[in-house]
Amino acid sequence: MRPLVGAKTQQLISRVFTPVSPVRWRAAQTRRSCGSSPNGEKPRPSMLRHLTSKIKATGPISVAEYMREVLTNPVTGYYVRNNMLGPDGDFITSPEISQIFGELLGVWILSEWMGGGRPKQLQLVELGPGKGSLASDVLRVFSQLRSVLGEASVSLHLVEVSPVLSRLQAQNLTGNYSQEAGAEDEPIYRRGETTTGLPVSWYRCLDDVPAGFSIFLAHEFFDALPIHKFQRTEKGWREVMVDIDPETPDRLRFVVTPSPTLASSTLVQADERRDHVEVCAEGGVIIQQLARRISEDGGAALIADYGHDGTKTDTFRGFKGHQLHDVLVSPGSADLTADVDFSYLRRMAAGGVVCLGPVTQRTFLKNMGIDTRLQVLLRNCADPSTRKQLISSYDMLTNPAKMGERFHFFSLLPAPLPVAGFSELSFS
């Protein structure tokens, strides 16, 4: 353990790191000031104290480290402690809005499994499954279309960092048929059987999921992964860090580093044209793992999230009680998120797989037959309030002004086999 630095070192740190000026980083200021900046709000002592001790000990921390600590610190992290999804939580997601969403994804999965040659084993792997609603809707489609799956053996694999949410997922998917692992360091920390009789396992990271033909789902997962932030300055690219505000010791502020950091030297593209960029290196690593698995074992990945194709600048924001929330206020009490840069994911996926999209959620769901599915459900439903709810959730998912154009779908699929003459002739 390092000793805490003294007041002199503190002053030095404050001097060498430049506070982010309103002119140089206007977007961040605007975004922060449009939050429901809860001035009277009490800070959460434990997370704030943890962060300020860390900064006092080692200096300002990167935005990526800040986000990782705030969201997934094993003791005080936002995801680790909370159930944040739904009308009473901080935000609501498409699978929570309508069962149709998960059902259409279930059909997509079956169609990719058929396209992959109907392998005998099908692993459904979900990253960040929230309450388990998406997996549950997908599995309902699997049992309704059991005859299509034939003899294939299906298993469910959930990658989830939050013990609170994993318990909720277990309850929703298995009823009481799941058990926690005896030892804390087991790669599978919980296992059970779904209500439809399929084996289900929980992991903390993707690395621990067994190899094999898999369909990977990641809905609103990549936006929760830590981002680095970089600012173009007269002296070149510099990294944005989080520091203690010297004027108010229990407040945090953004600063930019006086010289390049390892991250600013390696993560910003040489031909970058924007003045401010966010790079989710952790998301890049996960995409590379998915690409390798898909090219070696077959399968596909479907990633759905809000995002852009390498055009946006500052998108880092907080959500609390369905309102925007200042990312530096009361850390650990609100969700932190940043738009997914699909152009970065495509670059990191590289060869071995082909990338499709991003296409808007509206386009994807319409192509998957959401209008027909809605008509079928309406035809079988006489209750006026359920009908109203079906129509309004359809509107929420597809309306361009609501979730229809803010959310995008992106997919990784195995690259087609090389064709002799267009690549080198080889016999395998």
Chain contacts with ligand SAH (rule: CB under 6 A): 71-72, 79, 85, 93, 95-96, 128-130, 159-162, 165, 219-221, 224
Strands (E), 56-198: 61-62, 121-127, 153-159, 178-180, 188-193
Question: Shortest gap between Cβ of 333 and ligand SAH (angstroms)?
Answer: 16
Question: Shortest gap between Cβ of 10 and ligand SAH (angstroms)?
Answer: 31
HSE, CB side, 13 Å, CA atoms: give it for residue 73: 19
Question: Shortest gap between Cβ of 65 and ligand SAH (angstroms)?
Answer: 13
Under 8 Å CB-to-CB from 270, ≥6 apart: which residues? none
Question: Shortest gap between Cβ of 283 and ligand SAH (angstroms)?
Answer: 10
Which of 108, 110, 99 minimizes the C-alpha distance to 142? Answer: 110
Using a 10 angstrom Cβ sphere, with 0-12 exposed, 13-18 middle and 19 or more buried, the burial of residue 148 is middle
Element (H, E) at 203: strand 199-203
In the complex with ligand SAH, which residue's Cβ is closer, 51 or 127?
Answer: 127
In the complex with ligand SAH, which residue's Cβ is closer, 95 or 357?
Answer: 95
In the complex with ligand SAH, which residue's Cβ is closer, 94 or 257?
Answer: 94
Under 8 Å CB-to-CB from 12, ≥6 apart: which residues? none
Under 8 Å CB-to-CB from 379, ≥6 apart: which residues? none
Question: Shortest gap between Cβ of 351 and ligand SAH (angstroms)?
Answer: 26
In the complex with ligand SAH, which residue's Cβ is closer, 80 or 354?
Answer: 80
Question: Shortest gap between Cβ of 310 and ligand SAH (angstroms)?
Answer: 23
Under 8 Å CB-to-CB from 83, ≥6 apart: which residues? 89, 131, 164, 165, 168
In the complex with ligand SAH, which residue's Cβ is closer, 71 or 240?
Answer: 71
If you search the block for the tokens 């970065």, which residue do you land on?
344
Question: Shortest gap between Cβ of 8 and ligand SAH (angstroms)?
Answer: 37
Q: What angle do CA 360, 365, 368 make, to 5 degrees?
A: 130
> How many residues would you count in the chain?
428
The C-alpha atoms of residue 350 and residue 352 are separated, in whole angstroms, by 7
In the complex with ligand SAH, which residue's Cβ is closer, 96 or 137?
Answer: 96
β-strand 335-337 against 323-325: which pairing, if any?
Answer: unpaired
If you search the block for the tokens 């480290």, which residue do you land on?
65
In the complex with ligand SAH, which residue's Cβ is closer, 79 or 364?
Answer: 79
Question: Shortest gap between Cβ of 76 and ligand SAH (angstroms)?
Answer: 14
Residue nearest to ligand SAH as judged by C-beta position: 128
Under 8 Å CB-to-CB from 126, ≥6 apart: which residues? 134, 135, 156, 157, 158, 159, 216, 217, 218, 219
Question: Shortest gap between Cβ of 158 and ligand SAH (angstroms)?
Answer: 9
Residue pair 199/193 in contact (Cβ under 8 Å)? The answer is yes
In the complex with ligand SAH, which residue's Cβ is closer, 78 or 237?
Answer: 78
Helix/strand/coil for 390: helix
Question: Shortest gap between Cβ of 204 and ligand SAH (angstroms)?
Answer: 7
In the complex with ligand SAH, which residue's Cβ is closer, 129 or 414?
Answer: 129
In the complex with ligand SAH, which residue's Cβ is closer, 255 or 327?
Answer: 327
